[in-house]
Structures are given as structure tokens and as C-alpha cells.
Amino acid sequence: MQQILTRLCLTLCVWAPLAALAQTDPALRFMAVPAVDRSYTLSQFKEALPAETIHLFDTQHGKEKNYRGFPLAAVLNLAFGPDWQHENYTEMIFTALDGYAAVSTLDKLGQSGGYLVFEDLDVTGWELIGSKQANPGPYYLVWSQPQQTTQNQYPWPWGITRIELVRFQDRYPRVYPLGVEDSSDVFQGFLTFKRRCMRCHALDQQGGKIGPDLDAPQSVTEYRSPAMLKAYIRQPSAFRYTQMPDHTDLSEKQLDQIVDYLRHQAKQ
Ligand code: HEC
């Protein structure tokens, strides 16, 4: 009996206050390869950032709501440092307590209007969402401007427990050139490809789907000469009526770099 009581007390006396603490001071984990893996509790956030009261139309609830929260950009700057929008990173993943993961591109997340909210001011606890009665806590991402809806690709994840910044090279390993210096022609060609071509073209099935895959099953560099490729990329309208835009602003050097890059990826 004595033993059972001790066990009970060990379980209740130790875990009960811890569990309560976890609810009132929930932690949020931030991860980015290679350098970031840190957690902030709500009280740590409050020490570092001024909390705001936000009134908005909540598209998940379908009505006006009032919350306490922090501007999203301020939270991300605090946790990841000011460089989180660097083009080395492509996406952010918000993972919920139930394992649901919402993925967002970074351009939207830096805009004003996003808030990471931690308290529902209309009810005690949280007002549950939808027919599944999902609990938005402990952290819920909301947007205050009318056009910032899920239809317009603004993420509204709830139950957030982890926020992860994804590197381009981990998301698109077939497009990222390995074994070259950032200053090399191959890498410069990659940067141009990423900024100007990737929204339409994939390499080995990673990237856009509007134009043909330029690397698989055969690389364009295997069946087109460098001169042909450069002329085509510079001005496709001289060859065909096509959806591909002209790139007459690209210099001879930039065109060479793109071809160098496509050749490098053909071997990778
Ligand atoms: C708006 C979408 C779009 C963009 C941006 C775009 N392309 Fe294309 N591209 C296409 C489409 C569609 C085709 C296929 C039809 C065609 O060849 O006209 C194509 C075809 C090509 C071809 C194949 C030519 C052949 O017949 O073998 C190459 C090479 C190419 N693009 C390279 C590039 C490069 C490099 C860039 C960036 C500098 C780029 N494209 C940007 C849409 C695009």
C-alpha cells in the first residue's frame, strides 16, 4: 500500500503540475538546417515581443474574432534571425499536435497581417473549429487582411507545435548543383534557372510543369547543341509560337552559365 501511494504520488505530484504548466506555458519549436533548433515558451515570447490584441474575420470560424498574439514576422525574426527569407530557403512547414503539416512559401509569411495567436478573447480556452471540433491552441496562425484567405494561399494552420524552415537543396535536391563553389559559372547558372525558369521547368521531375522537363529522361544538353540552346532560351519566339517568354535581357555570359548548369545537372 505504502508503495502504491508513493507511486501514485510520484505520478500525480510530479506530472500533474508539469502537465498544467505545459498548457499554460506551451512551447513552440523552431527548426532550420543546419543551425536552428530551439524552443520558446509563451512566457519567453511575451518577454521578447509585445503582444497585441487583434480583431479580424476568421475564415476558419466564418465570423469576427478577437485574439491576443504576436505579429508573425516578429516571431520568425526572433526565432530564425532576420535572414529567414533568404532564397536558400523555399518553404516553411507548420506542424500541428495531430501531425498535420501545412506548407507555405516564404513570400506570404513576411507580409504584414499575419499573427501567431495564443489566446482567444471571446471564450475561455479556445473556440473549437468546424464539425471536427478542432482545438486551435496552443498556437494558431491567422491573417487580418480581407484578401489573406486560404483560397489565396495564406496558411491558417492551428494547433501549431513546430515551425520548420526548409532549405532549397533539401526540397529540390535534383535541381541544386552539388560540388561547386557559389562563385562558379554552374552555380550562377543555377541561380538564374531558379529565378527565371523553374516556375515552368523541372529537372528530373522537380520544379514547374508548364514547360518540358529539361533533365529527364534525357538532358536537353544531350540532344541540342549549346549554340541552339542559347539561341532558343534567349528568344523562343523566333523559332515557334510558344508560351515560353523571350529572355532577351539575359547576357551571353548568363546564357553560357545556364548551359553549364544544365550540363552539370545532366551528370549529377
Ligand atoms: C512561362 C513558362 C516558361 C518559362 C518561364 C521558361 N520556359 Fe522554357 N519552355 C516553356 C514551354 C511551354 C516550352 C515547350 C514549348 C516550346 O518549346 O515552345 C519550353 C521549352 C524550353 C526548352 C526546350 C527547347 C526544345 O525544344 O528542346 C528549353 C531548353 C527551355 N524551355 C529552357 C528555358 C530556360 C533556360 C528558361 C529560363 C531562362 C525557360 N525555359 C523559361 C515554358 C517556359
Query: What pLDDT, on the 0 to 100 scale, is given for residue 21?
Result: 45
Ligand 1, pocket-test mutation among 200, 210, 228, most atoms within 8 A of CB:
200
Q: What SS3 class is residue 248?
A: coil
17 vs 81: which has the higher pLDDT: 81
194 lines ligand 1 (CB under 6 A): no
| Mean pLDDT for all residues in the chain | 92
pTM of the full predicted structure? Answer: 0.79
Pairing of strands 206-207, 63-71: unpaired
| Pairwise pLDDT comparison (21 vs 69), residue with the higher score | 69
CB-ligand 1 contact for 151 (6 Å cutoff): no
Paired strand residues for 160: 96
pLDDT digits (tens, 9 = 90+) for 106-135: 999 999 999 999 999 999 999 999 988 999
The verdict on the CB of residue 171 being under 6 Å from ligand 1 is: no
Among 4-8, 156-160, 182-186, 216-220, the range scoring the smallest mean pLDDT is 4-8
Residue closest by Cα to atom 8 of ligand 1: 244
Question: 227 C-alpha vs ligand 1 centroid, how far in Å?
Answer: 15
Which of 190, 201, 248 to mutate to test ligand 1, by most ligand atoms within 8 A of the CB atom? 201
Q: How far is the CA of 230 from the centre of ligand 1 (A)?
A: 11
Which pLDDT tens digit goes with each residue over 232-260?
999 999 999 999 999 999 999 999 999 99
Residue among 156, 109, 152, 153 nearest 130 (CA): 156
Peptide bond into 82 cis (omega under 30): no
The CB of 226 under 6 Å from ligand 1? The reply is no
Helices 185-192 and 252-267, packing angle to 10 deg: 100
Regarding the beta carbon of 153 and ligand 1, being less than 6 Å apart is answered no
Judge whether residue 9 has pLDDT over 80. no
Looking at residue 108, its amino acid is K
Nearest atom, ligand 1, residue 258 CA = 35
Distance, CA 61 to ligand 1 centroid (Å)? 43
So what's the pLDDT on residue 231? Answer: 98
CA of 257 to the centre of ligand 1 (A): 16
Domains of the chain: 25-170 (3.90.420.10), 174-267 (1.10.760.10)
Query: Helix, strand, or coil here: 145?
Result: coil
CA dist 222 and 266 (Å) reads: 8
Please state, in angstroms and rounded to a whole number, the distance separating the CA atoms of residues 85 and 94: 16
Residue 22's DSSP bridge partners are none
Distance 207 CA to ligand 1 centre (A): 13
Over its C-alpha atoms, the chain yields an Rg (Å, rounded) of: 25
Could you give the 3-state DSSP secondary structure of residue 31? strand
CA separation (Å) from 63 to 52, 88, 136, 147, 262? 20, 38, 15, 15, 51
Q: Residue 185 — very low, low, confident or very high, per pLDDT cuts 50/70/90?
A: very high
All 3 cell numbers of residue 227? Answer: 549554340
* pLDDT confidence of residue 23: 65
Cell numbers for 226: 549549346
Query: Is pLDDT at 41 greater than 90 in this prediction?
Result: yes
Q: How confident is the model at residue 170 (pLDDT cuts 50, 70, 90)?
A: very high
